[in-house]
Structure 1
Amino acid sequence: MDAAVLTEPGTPTFASFDEPAAGPGQVVVDVWVAGVNPVDVAIAAGAFVTKPPFPSVAGREGVGTVEGRRVYFNGCVAPFGSMAQRTLVPADSLFDVPEGLDDGLAVALGIAGLAAWLPLQWRARLQPGETVLVLGASGVLGTIAVQAAKVLGAGRVVAAARDAESLRRLTDLGADATVELTGEESTAALGERIRDAAGGGVDVTIDPVWGQPALAAMAAARMGMRHVQIGHSAAPAAEVVAGGFREAMVDLLGYTTRHVPQDVVARGWAELTGHAADGRIAVEVERAPLADVAEVWQRQTSFAHRKLVLEL
């Protein structure tokens, strides 16, 4: 079968791979669309908790069919991956895709979408009327988080990112205010701009970037702010000053979907995709054939602001 094959750490190539055969508790999925994510790049490079065998097929998530049932999956049985005509997954890990929901959008709502929805709803326990700050808002996760915050009842949503054009688009998706992260000002000055955009302070921060933007967000905290840390695309470390952090009684909350109870993930998936099927959440999807996997892979390493998917 056709697949994106890893023979060494790095970029997969379009090649043939053995067909999967289901064992006990497993099913073979006919893949229609596979997502390309930062985590896929990290895994392929050997820079993640999970190390790939060689040779193996790249990719974790996708949409396909099992005996006519249209499903989303995240996590394949090695050496198989999502970027192939067929893959092998645990039978109890499949989520149904709502009727009418586009395959590409469904994939976008998987790894990225759940990492936006669950930190707001389950980890931070967002309350109606609260103010949400989304750092890294121009990325797929951030774009979904802006919309999800509104769906969940946020009173004000502030989108912060480096890309000015993306910030303009986010106002059409529900952001009440935007903050451009120039990287050319002090943490205190950026914190003041965030506080002004928030209209007095931030209740919940969704943070896939860390570094200086995270420190500035904490400087703009309203009392009891929940700062949910998801990733570190800006910097792996940030020197948190004890005084301000303590005085605002900030809750710093780590988050990764793989440690969320499966029933919570399943419920989050159903709610998130239901809102998307009703038109409340949208994501720009960029599609390419599987044969172009090497080119799409390079687009992902350059921090694409659209969801990249491979069509089988």
Structure 2
Amino acid sequence: MDAAVLPEPGTPVFTSFDEPAAGPGQVVVDVRVAGVNPVDVATAAGAFVTRPPFPSVAGREGVGTVEGRRVYFNGCVAPFGAMAQRTVVPADSLLDVPEQLEDGLAVAMGIAGLAAWLPLQWRARLQPGETVLVLGASGVLGQIAVQAAKVLGAGRVVAAARDAGSLQRLADLGADATVDLSGEPSVAELAERIRTAADGGVDVTIDPVWGVPALAAMGAARRGMRHVQIGHSAAASAELAAGGFRESMVDLLGYTTRHVPRDVVAAGWVELTGHAAAGRIAVEVERAPLADVARVWQRQVASAHRKLVLVP
């Protein structure tokens, strides 16, 4: 079958791969679209918590069919992956895709979407009227988080990004204010910008970047702010000053979807995809044939700011 294969760590190549066969508790999925994500790039480079065997097929998530049932899947049985005509996944991991939801947008609601929705709804327990700050908001996860915060009842949403060209797009998606993270502002300078944009302070932060932006967000916290840490694209470490952190009584909450209870993920998927199917949450989707995987891979490395999907 056609597949995007990793012969070694790095960029996958379009070639042929063995047909998958389902073992006990597994099913073969006919892939309709496969998502391309930062986690795929990290995994392929051997820089993620789990490392693939080589050779193997790249990709974790996609939408496909199993005996006529259209499903979303995340997590394939090695050495198979999502970026192929067919893959094999645990049978109990499948999630049904709403009839009205297009394949590409459904994939966008998976890794990126759930990592935006569940930190707000389940981890931070966002309350109606609260102010939400989304760091790294120009990415797919951030764009979804801005819209999800509105859907969940946030009173004010602040979108912060390094890509100044994306700020107007974020306002169009519902952000009440934006903050430019470009340049090298100090923590104090950036905290003041965030505080002003938040009209006084932040109740919940969604943070896929860490580093200086995270410290600034905590510097702009209202007392009891929940800071949900989901990634470190800006820096792997940040030096917290105990006084301000303690005085604001900030709750620093780690998050990764793979440790969320299965029933919580399933319920979140139904809610999130329902809003997407109704047009309340949208992301620009860029489709490309599987044969173009090398080019699309580099688009992801360069931060495309849209959902990239491959079509076998």
Counterparts of residues 1-312 of structure 1 (less than 5 Å): 1-312=1-312
| Counterpart AA for 1:65 | T
How far does residue 106 in structure 1 lie from its aligned partner after superposition?
0.4
What do residues 202-228 of structure 1 show as CA deviations (whole Å, max 9, x unaligned)?
000000000000000000000000000
- TM score, norm. by length of structure 2: 0.99
**Secondary structure class of the residue paired with 1:245:** helix
Q: Which runs of 5+ in 2 are unaligned?
A: none
**Secondary structure class of the residue paired with 2:294:** helix
Distance in 2 between the 1:51 and 1:197 partners? Answer: 41
How far does residue 57 in structure 1 lie from its aligned partner after superposition?
0.5
What do residues 169-198 of structure 1 show as CA deviations (whole Å, max 9, x unaligned)?
111111000000123321111101100100
Distance in 2 between the 1:281 and 1:274 partners? Answer: 9
- TM score, norm. by length of structure 1: 0.99
Distance in 1 between the 2:311 and 2:255 partners? Answer: 30
Q: Which runs of 5+ in 1 are unaligned?
A: none
Distance in 1 between the 2:164 and 2:44 partners? Answer: 31
Distance in 1 between the 2:134 and 2:277 partners? Answer: 23
How far does residue 163 in structure 1 lie from its aligned partner after superposition?
1.2
2:209·2:231 contact (CA, 8 Å) conserved in 1? yes
How far does residue 229 in structure 1 lie from its aligned partner after superposition?
0.3
2:164·2:182 contact (CA, 8 Å) conserved in 1? no
2:131·2:203 contact (CA, 8 Å) conserved in 1? yes
Distance in 1 between the 2:248 and 2:22 partners? Answer: 53
How far does residue 135 in structure 1 lie from its aligned partner after superposition?
0.2
RMSD: 0.6
Number of residues paired by the alignment? 312
What do residues 18-43 of structure 1 show as CA deviations (whole Å, max 9, x unaligned)?
11111111100000000000111111
Find runs of 4+ consecutive structure 1 residues off by over 4 angstroms.
none
What do residues 225-275 of structure 1 show as CA deviations (whole Å, max 9, x unaligned)?
000000000000111111100000000000000000000000000000000
What do residues 32-71 of structure 1 show as CA deviations (whole Å, max 9, x unaligned)?
0000001111111111111111111000000000000000
Distance in 1 between the 2:175 and 2:290 partners? Answer: 34
What do residues 140-195 of structure 1 show as CA deviations (whole Å, max 9, x unaligned)?
00000000000000000000001122110111111000000123321111101100
Distance in 1 between the 2:49 and 2:222 partners? Answer: 35
